[in-house]
Amino acid sequence: MRNIRIYPDPILRKKSTPISNATKETLDISQKMIEIMYANDGVGLAAPQIGISEQIITVDYGEGPMVLFNPEIIESSEEKNELEEGCLSFPDITVPILRPIKIKIKFLNEENKISELSIDNIAAKVFQHEIDHLNGILIIDHISSLKKAIINSKLKKLEKLYSAG
């Protein structure tokens, strides 16, 4: 996992700061994030995962790269389904997560304009996963203690690797 912060790095638990507007600096960060996302075969990346505690996410769910600043969910469907999710910050771990199927999000785009987007299915899961990262929420927060017990040895291994530096 090149350039990616791995669990239990404490930055993954910090709430990210909103950005006031899209500057050259934030655009440079998002460009770098897109490169890192592709280099690691990811479909989404949140700035804290590269050590930057700012509200920036990048996603590509098959429609090309997208950059979103300050994304927030403004509507979610009652209907939910479960999808197996992985995370670049949790190598070799996937867990089934129950989330709304459809959401509507609001964000600041690269041209400094407030935009809205309605998405469903896998794309909706990707956005929810990345927005979680901006709030310090990780995939292990969505699973039952039983499921957590199943992946516990993998988590312990990551914790050991982290403390070994």
Find the catalytic residue in 84, 110, 130, 159.
130
> Which C-beta is closer to Zn ion: that of 92 or that of 111?
92
Q: How many residues at the interface with Zn ion, by CB under 5 A?
A: 1
How many residues does the structure list for the chain? 165
Active site residue 72: no
Peptide bond into 8 cis (omega under 30): yes
Residue nearest to Zn ion according to CB distances in the complex? 87
Decide: is 87 part of the binding site for Zn ion (CB under 5 A).
yes
- What is the phi-psi region of residue 162: left when phi exceeds 0, alpha when psi lies from -120 to 50, beta otherwise? alpha
* Residues 96-135 contacting Zn ion, CB under 5 A: none
> Which C-beta is closer to Zn ion: that of 14 or that of 112?
14
Q: Nearest approach, Cβ of 113 to Zn ion (angstroms)? A: 27
Residues 5, 11 contacting (CB under 8 angstroms):
yes
Binding mask 31-70 for Zn ion (x = CB under 5 A): ----------------------------------------
3-state secondary structure 65-103: CEEEEEEEEEEECCCEEEEEEECCCCCCCEEEEEEECEE
> Which C-beta is closer to Zn ion: that of 15 or that of 25?
15
Q: How far apart are CA 39 and CA 5, in angstroms?
A: 14
Q: How far apart are CA 97 and CA 80, in angstroms?
A: 10
Q: Nearest approach, Cβ of 6 to Zn ion (angstroms)? A: 11
> Which C-beta is closer to Zn ion: that of 47 or that of 87?
87
Catalytic residue positions?
Answer: 130
Which residues make up the interface to Zn ion (CB under 5 A)? 87
